[in-house]
Structure 1
Amino acid sequence: MTFVDVPVTVRVPATSANLGPGFDSLGLALSWFDEVTAEVTTSGLTFDIEGEGADEVPRDETHLLYRAMDAAFDLLAEKPAGLHLSCRNTIPHGRGLGSSAAAIAAGLVLARALVVGGEDRMDDRTMFGLANDLEGHPDNVAPALFGGFTISWIEGAAAETQRLDVEADVTVFVPPEPVATSVARGLLPESVPHADASFTAGRAALLVAALTTAPERLISATEDRLHQTYRAEAMPDSYKLVRQLRVEGVPAVISGAGPTVLAFAHGLEDWTPSGWARRELRVSPEGAHVAP
C-alpha cells in the first residue's frame, strides 16, 4: 500500500516572526492552531473549509495547502489519485501571524503522513528546506514546523534553523484589516545606515538571551531599527500601539509583516483598540504535528 487508508489530521500553530530585531531570522510558535484533515480518495480534489478566509481562499490546485502537499508528493515520488481536504482555520489571514507558513507546514506534514514510510523518505531537514523554498524565507516556517523559538539562516543554498525551548506570556492585538506582506516588504529601503544595522544585530543577540535566561531584558531586546519604522505608514495604528505599550515598559513589536501587534505580557485588556481582537497566548512547544 502506497498511502494510508485512514484520514490524517494535522494541527499547526500560528507564528510570529522578526520579534523586533530578528528580521527574517527569528520566529516564535504560538498556542493558536489551525487544523487540517486529509484523506486519499479515488479521484479529484475537494475541500471543506470553515473559519478564517473560508470565503476567500481557492478550492482547487492553487490553494497553498495543496501546493505544499503536491511538492511533498513530488519529492516522495508518490501521487494520490484524489484528495479530500477539510480545513478548520482560526489563524487570521494577512495579519502577520504566519497563516501562509501554517498552510505550508500543514501540507508538508500531511503529505508525509499520508505516504506509507513517509518519515523515512523525507526527514525533518529535507522538509524544512522544501518549506523554505515554498515560503521564500525561513523565519515563519521554522517555528510552524518545529515549535518553540527558532533562529533561522541561509547556509549557501540551504535553509538552517536552531530551535530553543522558551516560556513566555504573549498577547496579540489583531486589527480588523490586513496588510499584504508584499506591501510591507515594498516599504523597506535597499540599504540602511551601518549604525542601525549594528544596533539591531546587538538587540537580536540580546533577544535570544532575554527569551531564554533574562526576561527582564525584553524591553531592550525587542528594539529594532531595520524594518518597523519604515513600515509604519502602512499600519499607523499598529505602530502607534507599539510605541504606547513600550512607553509603559511593555515589550511590544509588530508581528511579522504586520499589522498585528505582539506584546510579551498578559493582562493588557485595557490596551485593546476599538474593533481589534485580543488574544492571550503562550509559546507553543509543538509545531505542525499529526493529531491523535
Structure 2
Amino acid sequence: MTLTDEKFVIKVPASSANLGPGFDSIGIALNLFLSLEVEKSEKWECFSTSEELKDLPSDEQHFICQIALQTAAKYGKELHPCKIKVESEIPLARGLGSSASAIIAGIELADYIGELGLTKKEKLLLSTEIEGHPDNVGASLYGGLVIGSYQQGEVDIVSISDITFEMVAVIPKESLLTKDSRGVLPIEFSYKDSILASSISNVLVAALLSQNWELAGKMMERDIFHQPYRKPLIPFYDEVATFAKAEGAFGVALSGAGPTILCFCEKGKATGLEKSLNSAFPDMTAKQLSINFTGSSVSKLNNCIVK
C-alpha cells in the first residue's frame, strides 16, 4: 500500500520468553504494547512523550528506523522518510521483550512503507536472524503462546491461541541487560544434562497444553538451562516466588533474562495476586497481565486494519 499523508499506527505486544525451561524456544505475548504513530515527512524524525524513551536518537539512528532501513535494503528498496511518535508500555531491559518488539516494529514499518509484501513467515525469519532466537519475536509477531526452533537459517514456529491463564509480573526498578545475564550461563552441557533439560521443557509444553497447571509450575521450577545461573543476579527471586505460590500462583519463572519475575495463575486469580504482591513488595511494581492473541498489527488511525 502506497505511503500517503494519512497517519497509520503500528502496534506490537510485549513478550516473555522461556517460562522456565523453554530456553530460547518458548515465548508468550503480553498485553503491554509498543506503539508507533507514523506519517510521511521530509526527514526521519522520532520522538516520544515517554520519559524512558526520550534519550533515544531522534533521527534515522533510532533503533526502529535502523531495523526498517536494513530490512528495506535487503530487498533493494529505499524508504521514504517518516515522522514517528514512539510510545511504549514495555519497560526497557526488564525481561519483557522490549528489543524484540522494536525489531518487529521496524520490520512492519519497512514492509508497509516500502511495499515489500512480506509474509508472516518472512517477517519471522528476518526478526529471528536479528534477535538470534524466535521466542520473543515470534510471540510479538504472532501473539499467543509460541514454541519455535531456529537452525541452519530456517525457523519453525507453532502459535497456540486456545490457552487460558493469567500472569502477574513483578517488575523491579533496576534493569538487567540480556548480554550481562547471558554472561553467567555455561558454554556447554553434558549429554546427560541436555536430555534432562529438554525433557523438563517437553513436559512443560505438554502440561500447558493440557492445562495441568500444577505440573506446569513444577517444570518451571525444575529448569536447569538458565535459571539456576541467573537467580543469583536477582536476590529477591526466592522471596517473591515463595510468596506468590502461597498466594495462589501455580508457577513462577524469570521473564526472559530477568530481572522481572512472572507469576502464573489460573484465570480469575490475577487481580488478587497483584494486590497481594504490591502490598508485600512496595519497592517493586506488580502488574496484572494477560495473553495477547493478536500479535503485531498495522492500522490507520480510524482503527481500520490494513495488514
Q: TM exceeds 0.5? A: yes
Partner of 2:127: 131
Aligned partner of 1:283 in structure 2 is 291
Equivalence for 2:174: 177
Distance in 1, matches of 2:74 and 2:18, equals 30
Q: Secondary structure at the match of 2:195?
A: helix
Bigger shift: residues 196-205 or 274-283:
196-205
Gaps spanning 5+ residues in structure 2: where? none
Question: Residue 276 of structure 2 corresponds to which residue in structure 1?
Answer: 270
1:103 is paired with a residue of what secondary structure? Answer: helix
Give the 3-state SS of the residue equivalent to 1:236 in structure 2: coil
AA at the equivalent of 1:176: K
Q: Which stretch of structure 1 is more off in the superposition, 239-248 or 160-169?
A: 239-248
CA deviations 1:250-283 (Å, max 9, x no partner) are 3000000000000112121223322111111111
**Unmatched segments (≥5 aa) in structure 1:** none
**Counterpart Cα distance in 1 of 2:135 and 2:17:** 6
1:237 and 1:101 map into 2 onto residues whose CA distance is 26
- Deviation of 1:205 (Å): 1.2
Q: Determine the structure 1 residue equivalent to 2:104.
A: 105
Contact kept in structure 1, 2:79 and 2:114, CA below 8 Å: no
Contact 1:16 1:255 in 2 (8 A): yes
Match of 1:38 in 2: 38
* Cα distance change, pair 196–263 in 1 and its aligned pair in 2 (3 A): farther
- d(CA) in 2 for partners of 1:75, 1:47: 23
Q: Is the 8 A contact 1:8 1:114 kept in 2?
A: no
Q: Secondary structure at the match of 1:163?
A: strand
Report % sequence identity: 30
Matches within 5 A, 1:210-289: 210-216=207-213, 217-223=215-221, 224-246=223-245, 250-265=250-265, 266=270, 267-268=272-273, 269-272=275-278, 273-289=281-297
The alpha-carbon deviation at position 33 of structure 1 amounts to 1.2
Cα distance, 1:163 vs structure 2? 0.9
Contact 1:4 1:115 in 2 (8 A): no
Alpha-carbon shift at residue 92 of structure 1 (Å): 0.3
* Residues 181-210 of structure 1: per-residue CA shift (max 9 Å, x gap): 111000101123444433321221122222
Instruction: Point out 4+ residue stretches in structure 1 off by more than 6 angstroms.
Output: none
Q: Which one-letter code corresponds to 1:34 in the other structure?
A: L
Contact 1:197 1:225 in 2 (8 A): no
Question: Match of 1:24, as an amino acid?
Answer: D
Give 1:247 shift: 6.7
Question: Match for residue 144 of structure 2?
Answer: 148
Query: 1:207 & 1:191 partners in 2: Cα distance?
Result: 22
TM-score w.r.t. structure 1 length?
0.91
- Does structure 2 retain, via aligned residues, the 8 Å contact 1:252–1:264? yes
| Mapped partners of 2:20, 2:52: distance in 1 | 27
Higher alpha-carbon deviation: 28-37 or 157-166: 157-166
**Contact 1:238–1:260 (CA under 8 A) maintained in structure 2:** no
Report how many residues are paired: 288
Query: Which stretch shifts more, 65-74 or 86-95?
Result: 65-74
User: Retained in 2: the 8 A contact 1:219–1:246?
Assistant: no
Cα deviations across residues 141-170 of structure 1 (Å, max 9, x unaligned)?
000111011111113222221111122111
Which position in structure 1 is the counterpart of 2:81? 82
